[in-house]
Chains A and B, each alone.
Chain A
């Protein structure tokens, strides 16, 4: 079927920066805490209090901008966005309008679409409201007030819900790699507003758009866009007109509904924030920020496939999380057997950490490198290597100690091999006879018996070699 409409999507992504203190005061910016225990006169909007901008917040935002190919405005300024809401104690949000920190960036998707980034600016988060239906009250907790946020605003370059979801997940991954955002969607540290419109296929004229606010998972972003495309298609098919408005997505029904812009006529009366001086940057400031950008996931995939010879699939899996990729990198720096490290890493390490929330791997890259090396050199057999990793995860300990303690160390004791196998032959003349009569499958029995008797004393390879020698001499 020929597609009648092209989808046009623009995104505004809000990401909380993981600084220690808030954007404009020295309160603890970490998530949670008992209500109103991370507060001070500044973030609760006490009369007379003044904002003091956090160096790290600007630095993190700049790092994000540079990683997303933005230009940095050498003179950046803050503005006040005025509106009333009980989670906003000053009744204005400090944000940036005319001279945002970062402009003109871009990010390429796997589809080949290049999404232009209009700007990235720094602003502050609002507090948290809890609703008490029984008493008809809402309660305000200001712990989150003034936690730094960046808002990433794209041009309407995204063409499908899949692309939108990929863009957001890629941004989330980048921000984690940059160590500027913990990107935990369930804690609301990344949220997106989505603009969706349809236009006749091939047309250059943009249609009227609807904005869907406050989506906080990759899945809901994709679902919201799909439902919105369906809704708008139906309107257009029936000869109707899409109303330019703000909508909300309901996760339960999977549909969007209009948010009648209630009180505020949406005139935010932006003006330059008089309490914060503009900030100027030198070339050195920007060079320094650039030097703080680590290798990003797509750059690591390239290195893993081209230089390390991993498969594309394996490289992608390893780079899905920065801490895992970092662990892999550290391991191969110690023991540069890229594929062998990757194989044990993908099976034994990833399997154990993928279902935990924690980003702590309880063993060190150095110890992991040791285990891979021991397996490669047949100092322990491959199954025992896996057991060593399991024990290190469960109980900790040094890999060599564990191997010794559990008798995993393979000692090539040729006398013992001869003794054990000679005795087996002497004990079972019946089977030897069978072998001579063409029942060659008795080889397996001897192999199994010998392996068991020689655990830790010989490798299967040498056992097999001795057995083969014995049978050939019959």
Chain B
């Protein structure tokens, strides 16, 4: 069973706002889904941090040469709100 506090934290971490009904519904579903996921708890395989099949030799990395993207305007034009070629958000206060 996923607790209310835990679900609230998940919503905060993933920046999702749920209405009260949604919250109840997701809470129930998440509980079911997590009990399906719990089957993995029965496994006891060792995780190997180092997996050389999934690695690339240092010498093969990309060379440090500038290639300029040809459609920067296209990127900025997609911004829902832009000013002076920058993306606008409500003022950040920290």
Chains A and B bind each other: yes
Q: Give the interface of A toward B (CB within 8 A).
A: 19-21, 26-28, 34-37, 39-41, 44, 46, 52-58, 75, 84-86, 98-99, 129-133, 136-142, 248, 259, 262-265, 267, 269, 277-282, 285
Additional 10 contacts, C-beta under 8 A, given A139-B83, A259-B94, A285-B58: A26-B66, A40-B69, A58-B58, A84-B15, A86-B89, A130-B86, A142-B87, A278-B51, A278-B52, A280-B57
Is B12 within 8 A of A137, CB to CB?
no
Is B88 within 8 A of A139, CB to CB?
yes
Is A265 within 8 A of B58, CB to CB?
no
B38: A residues at CB distance < 8 A:
none
Looking at the assembled complex, report how far the CB atom of A288 sits from the nearest CB atom of chain B, in whole angstroms: 10
The docked-state distance in angstroms from the alpha carbon of A263 to that of B13 is 9
Q: Tell me which of B65, B83, B94 contacts A26 (CB under 8 A).
A: B65
Is A36 within 8 A of B91, CB to CB?
no
B58: A residues at CB distance < 8 A:
55, 58, 279-282, 285
Interface residues as binary, B50-94 with A (CB distance below 8 Å gives 1, 0 otherwise)? 111011111101111111110010011000000111111111101
Is A28 within 8 A of B88, CB to CB?
no
User: Is residue B36 contacting chain A, with contact meaning CB distance below 8 A?
Assistant: no
A279-B61 contact in complex given A20-B66, A39-B72, A39-B75, C-beta closer than 8 Å: yes
A58: B residues at CB distance < 8 A:
58, 61
Looking at the assembled complex, report how far the CB atom of A85 sits from the nearest CB atom of chain B, in whole angstroms: 8
Is A265 within 8 A of B13, CB to CB?
yes
The docked-state distance in angstroms from the alpha carbon of A53 to that of B83 is 31
Q: Tell me which of A137, A262, A264, A277 contacts B56 (CB under 8 A).
A: A277
Is A75 within 8 A of B52, CB to CB?
yes
Is A137 within 8 A of B90, CB to CB?
yes
Is B69 within 8 A of A265, CB to CB?
no
Residue of B56, B58, B69 most packed against chain A (CB within 10 A): B58
Is B49 within 8 A of A98, CB to CB?
yes
The docked-state distance in angstroms from the alpha carbon of A136 to that of B51 is 49
User: Can you sample 18 A-B contacts with CB below 8 Å?
Assistant: A27-B68, A27-B69, A54-B61, A55-B61, A55-B63, A57-B64, A58-B58, A75-B52, A86-B89, A98-B49, A99-B49, A139-B87, A139-B88, A140-B86, A140-B87, A263-B12, A279-B56, A282-B59
Is A40 within 8 A of B64, CB to CB?
no
A53: B residues at CB distance < 8 A:
61-62
3 shortest interchain CB distances as A-B pairs: A40-B69, A56-B64, A55-B61
Is A55 within 8 A of B64, CB to CB?
yes
A265-B49 contact in complex given A137-B89, A140-B87, A280-B55, C-beta closer than 8 Å: no
Residue of A55, A58, A281 most packed against chain B (CB within 10 A): A55
A39: B residues at CB distance < 8 A:
69, 72, 75
B18: A residues at CB distance < 8 A:
none
A141-B69 contact in complex given A21-B64, A75-B50, A265-B12, C-beta closer than 8 Å: no
Nearest residue (CB) in A for B86 is A139
The docked-state distance in angstroms from the alpha carbon of A130 to that of B89 is 10
Interface residues as binary, B27-59 with A (CB distance below 8 Å gives 1, 0 otherwise)? 000000000000000000000011110111111
The docked-state distance in angstroms from the alpha carbon of A269 to that of B15 is 14
The docked-state distance in angstroms from the alpha carbon of A402 to that of B52 is 65
Looking at the assembled complex, report how far the CB atom of B64 sits from the nearest CB atom of chain A, in whole angstroms: 4
B59: A residues at CB distance < 8 A:
282, 285
The docked-state distance in angstroms from the alpha carbon of A136 to that of B92 is 9
B49: A residues at CB distance < 8 A:
98-99
User: Is residue B9 contacting chain A, with contact meaning CB distance below 8 A?
Assistant: yes
Looking at the assembled complex, report how far the CB atom of B40 sits from the nearest CB atom of chain A, in whole angstroms: 16
The docked-state distance in angstroms from the alpha carbon of A98 to that of B52 is 15
Looking at the assembled complex, report how far the CB atom of B58 sits from the nearest CB atom of chain A, in whole angstroms: 5
The docked-state distance in angstroms from the alpha carbon of A27 to that of B67 is 6
Is A54 within 8 A of B91, CB to CB?
no
Is A267 within 8 A of B13, CB to CB?
yes
Nearest residue (CB) in B for A26 is B67
Q: Tell me which of A28, A35, A99, A264 contacts B66 (CB under 8 A).
A: A28
Nearest residue (CB) in B for A286 is B58
B64: A residues at CB distance < 8 A:
19-21, 54-57
The docked-state distance in angstroms from the alpha carbon of A37 to that of B54 is 34
B66: A residues at CB distance < 8 A:
20-21, 26-28
Looking at the assembled complex, report how far the CB atom of A38 sits from the nearest CB atom of chain B, in whole angstroms: 8
Looking at the assembled complex, report how far the CB atom of B55 sits from the nearest CB atom of chain A, in whole angstroms: 4
Q: Tell me which of A35, A265, A267 contacts B86 (CB under 8 A).
A: A35
Q: Tell me which of A28, A44, A131 contacts B68 (CB under 8 A).
A: A28
A281: B residues at CB distance < 8 A:
57-58
Q: Tell me which of B62, B68, B69, B87 contacts A54 (CB under 8 A).
A: B62
Q: Tell me which of A55, A133, A262, A269 contacts B91 (CB under 8 A).
A: A133
The docked-state distance in angstroms from the alpha carbon of A53 to that of B65 is 12
Looking at the assembled complex, report how far the CB atom of B85 sits from the nearest CB atom of chain A, in whole angstroms: 5
Looking at the assembled complex, report how far the CB atom of A287 sits from the nearest CB atom of chain B, in whole angstroms: 12
